[in-house]
C-alpha cells in the first residue's frame, strides 16, 4: 500500500489531489528511457506492420496516419535521420539518445514487442517520490533529449526527470474525491478527463520549477508532437 498524490502545503494543480492510498504489486522500472537505436530495432523487426503488437485503436491509427516511424524520422536509401531543434541528424548520431515524439500507442506496442509493459502512473510516482527534481530540463539549456544518457552515467538519480515525458498505462481520471477548482481555473484539468493518457516526469523543455513527482501531464493517445518517450516496467 502506498500513498500517492500531492501532500503538504506547496503549490499543486487540482488534478494532483487528493492524496490517497493505492495498492501496488511488486514492480521495477527501467533506469533509463528507451533509446533511438532500440526503437529502430523494433521498426526493423516489422513493428509497424504487425497488428498483434498494437491495441486495436492503435493499429487503426497506424493505418489511418501511415505511421512507419516516430514523428520527424525520415528514411533515405535505408538510412534513418531525425529532424531535431538542432536540425536534421543521422540516426546513428542519436543512437543512444531517448526516442522521442512517439504516441502512447507506439510506446505500448514497443513495450509489448520488448516483452515488458508501460508503468502505471502510480508505479512511476512511487518509484520517483523523494528523488531530487534534477536532470535534462529546460534549465539545462540543451533543448534536446539527446544528452540524457550521459547524465545517467554521471548522476543516476537524475534520470527520472527530464529528457522526455514518459507515457504511462494509466487513463487520465480524477482521483477518489477529486474536486475541480471553482470558476474558470477548474475547467483546465477536470474537463479533459476523458480519452486521455497520463505522462510523467517532464522533458527537456519543462522548467524544473514546474515539475514534481506528483505532476500529471495528459494527452490523447494518438498525440506525437511533444517530447514524449518510453520507460519500461517489469
Residue 234 lies in a domain: no
Q: How far is CA 140 from its chain centroid? A: 19
Q: What is the largest CA-CA distance in the chain?
A: 56
Look up the domain containing 180 and give its range.
Answer: 2-229
- Residue 182 pairs in a beta bridge with none
**Arithmetic mean of pLDDT over the chain:** 93
Helices 36-44, 104-113: axis angle to 10 degrees equals: 70
Q: How many domains does the chain contain in total?
A: 1
The tens digit of pLDDT for each residue in 13-64 reads 999 999 999 999 999 999 899 999 999 999 999 999 999 999 999 999 999 9
Q: What CATH number is attached to the domain comprising 114? A: 3.90.1580.10
Residue 137 lies in a domain: yes
Residue 85 lies in a domain: yes
pLDDT reported for residue 186: 76
Amino acid at each position: 500500500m502506498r500513498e500517492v498524490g500531492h501532500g503538504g502545503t506547496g503549490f499543486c494543480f487540482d488534478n494532483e489531489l487528493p492524496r490517497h492510498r493505492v495498492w501496488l504489486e511488486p514492480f521495477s522500472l527501467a533506469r533509463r528511457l528507451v533509446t533511438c537505436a532500440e526503437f529502430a530495432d523494433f521498426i526493423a523487426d516489422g513493428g509497424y506492420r504487425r497488428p498483434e503488437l498494437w491495441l486495436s485503436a492503435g493499429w487503426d491509427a497506424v493505418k489511418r496516419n501511415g505511421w512507419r516511424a516516430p514523428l520527424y524520422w525520415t528514411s533515405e536509401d535505408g538510412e534513418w535521420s531525425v529532424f531535431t531543434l538542432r536540425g536534421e541528424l543521422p540516426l546513428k548520431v542519436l543512437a543512444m539518445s531517448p526516442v522521442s515524439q512517439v504516441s502512447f500507442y507506439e510506446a505500448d506496442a514497443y513495450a509489448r514487442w520488448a516483452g515488458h509493459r508501460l508503468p502505471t502512473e502510480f508505479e512511476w510516482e512511487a518509484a520517483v517520490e523523494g528523488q531530487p527534481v534534477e536532470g535534462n530540463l529546460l534549465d539545462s539549456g540543451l533543448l534536446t533529449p539527446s544528452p540524457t544518457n550521459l547524465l545517467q552515467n554521471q548522476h543516476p538519480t537524475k534520470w527520472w526527470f527530464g529528457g522526455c515525458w514518459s507515457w504511462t498505462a494509466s487513463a487520465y481520471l480524477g482521483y477518489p474525491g477529486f474536486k475541480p477548482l471553482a470558476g474558470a481555473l477548474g475547467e483546465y484539468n477536470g474537463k479533459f478527463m476523458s480519452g486521455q493518457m497520463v505522462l510523467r516526469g517532464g522533458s527537456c523543455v519543462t522548467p524544473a520549477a514546474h515539475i514534481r513527482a506528483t505532476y500529471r501531464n495528459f494527452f490523447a493517445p494518438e498525440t506525437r508532437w511533444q517530447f514524449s518517450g518510453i520507460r519500461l516496467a517489469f
